[in-house]
Amino acid sequence: MKYDVCVLGGCSLAQTFFQKVDGTYADTPDIISPGGKGANQAVAASKAGAKTVMLTRIGKDDIGKKILDNLDFYQVDTTNIEIVEGLENDYSNIYIKLEDKDNYIERFSGAINSFTKDIVDKYQDIILKSKIIVCQLKVPKEVTEYLINFCYKNNKILILTPCRPEKLSITEKENIDLIDKISIITCNRKECTTIFNTDDIETCVKKYPNKLIVTLGSEGLIYYNGKRTIRMPSIKTEVIDTTGAGDTLNGNLSAFLSRGMDLQHALRKAMYASAMKLMQETAQAGMPYYEDLENFIQNERNKKFDYSNELNLALDIIKDAYDMVKYTTKFKISTKEDYTLVTDMDLYIEKYLIKKIRDKFPQDNFVTEEYNSNNKLTNRSWIIDPIDRTSHFIKNDGLWGIQLAFYDNEATRFSIIYLPDKKELYYAAENIGAFLNNNKILPTDAVPLNQAIVEFGGSIYKERDVKKVLLDDFITDNHLIISNVLHVNSCCISYTNLVSNKTDALIISSKKAWDIMPGEFLCKVCGIPIYYLDSNKNVRLITKNNEIKKLLLHK
């Protein structure tokens, strides 16, 4: 069986005490719950949607059963957990301060000290079949060292959280080589200082690009990506209990990296998960599930946006609209006056979106492809294309989408393009940014001309004389001077190809509001400029590649 995340570490029972107004703590714990750094990280990864397996040892008693049942509840694979007769389980007393909700932990170790190197050998197939390996320094050092060397030898990604940082201190020369073999180290400021024997965190992270990630509490986190120092601000939220916040970040980070997400996006999303945990009591129960995390990120990001209510509504209903038709296999197909195709699904989605918007904003105007195509843009106008490129929807080839934009005070304020079959949701909002599946779309460097891909979007026959001349500009001595030319008659695909760096330039001649407003606003927010290629301003070039711009704007 293959896994996304494999966690090797310990489990324990956490006894939580909350400080009273008089500064004292109760004699008996306020909450008793399963915990432990290894178990916490495994639960966090599983709740984030990763297929997670735990490698650990627990004692065969009531505490061990509670730990095991809890991991099973959170769908962590416990098949390979060793249950040992007579082994004492770990437990901890966690004291939560009243003022800042920070914690002080007393740990009592048992089972975690019984780990030996043969746990790596015994379960090496599990480790090799996992995308990301997560470990800590709480088990005996020789076990962690053996695991690090095994993962390094087999090119496995290993994330280490050094909760016993003195074990990794560079004052011991052999640790320098060990650090080089670890894929990612996540630590707090104090742990970093202990390991690297310095208070200069920024210089420290520059020595370990994309490896050393240091959390700075209320200041966020810092790491170096090989080109520049990345400082990510913390997500401001109410703090109830800090227990497990770091484990939440690491569990989520491992889950998102296992999906192929880049480090910067994975870290930012993991920080949101950690912020959600801070608002809840106890470690594991307070960790978010992936769907709740997505909603939290969306609401947090948009809450300062002037049109946040409109945007959040649109993001919800555009998904709901597809959910209501996705299992429909039979639908009526008709031909409109302009010879384009329409199905009853186009009509159904458009009616649904209009109704949901009118329920909240009854005075708003609509400019839509099927029912309101003659309407003029006015303040508070919703522009809707229920199915962009119906012919592809009929073919069920994934090259279609649902588009929406909101216009007010003579400007587009936000837009959404949803590609259901690709499981991609793009949205852009004024002064907030552009996002793909809640991950910010980051700028990329332009490629040389011979590596560039140019797409001709929209109907190829419209403005064909102009387009033919433009195409000729890409041909020299009977060969292309660019890498390739694409054409997909689907505006939603063309615009999203460009902003997601699948193409380097878009040449398009569509003029209908529902075809172009969502995509062109998305490009604008992504910082991709628009140029006109003909005197009538019908054919547009959208690119940030200066070589393509110079080639086509020479006329």
Q: What is the dihedral angle through the alpha carbons of 303, 305, 306, 311, rounded to the nearest 10 degrees?
A: -80
Instruction: Compute CA distances 474 → 166, 451, 478, 539, whole Å.
Output: 61, 12, 10, 17
Q: Is 226 helix (H, G, I), strand (E, B) or coil?
A: coil
Cα(113)–Cα(167) distance, rounded to whole angstroms? 14
**8-state DSSP, 77:** B
- For 355-407, what is the HEC assignment? HHHHHHCCCCEEEECCCCCCCCCCCCEEEEEEEECHHHHHHCCCCCEEEEEEE
Inter-CA distances, 202 with 209, 221, 365, Å: 11, 11, 52
Give dist(CA 414, CA 406) in Å, integer. Answer: 6
Cα-Cα-Cα-Cα torsion 30, 34, 39, 44, nearest 10 degrees, comes to -60
Residue pair 382/371 in contact by the 8 Å Cβ criterion: no
Q: Which residues contact 120 (CB under 8 A, 6 or more apart)?
A: 8, 127, 143, 146, 147, 150
Contact 134, 127 (CB under 8 A): no
Residue 409: burial class (beta carbons within 10 Å; 0-12, 13-18, 19+)? exposed
What type of residue is 77? D
Cα 215 from Cα 218, distance rounded (Å): 9
Q: Measure the CA–CA gap between 181 and 208, rounded to whole angstroms.
A: 11
SS3 content of the chain, % helix, strand, coil (to 5): 35, 25, 35
| Strand ranges, E, within 494-536 | 505-508, 530-532
465 an active-site residue?
no
Pairing of strands 530-532, 540-543: antiparallel
Give me the catalytic one of 4, 77, 241, 247: 247
Residue appearing with tokens 């735990």: 54
How far is Cα 511 from Cα 457, in angstroms, rounded to an integer? Answer: 12
DSSP state letters, 194-214: HHHT-S-HHHHHHTSTTTEEE
279: three-class secondary structure by DSSP: coil
Helix (H, G, I), strand (E, B) or coil at 428: strand
Q: At what angle do helices 245-258 and 263-278 cross, to 10 degrees?
A: 150
What are the tokens at 446? 């332009």
Q: How far apart are CA 524 and CA 334, in angstroms?
A: 35
Between helix 173-181 and helix 141-153 the angle, nearest 10°, is 50
Instruction: State the catalytic residues.
Output: 247
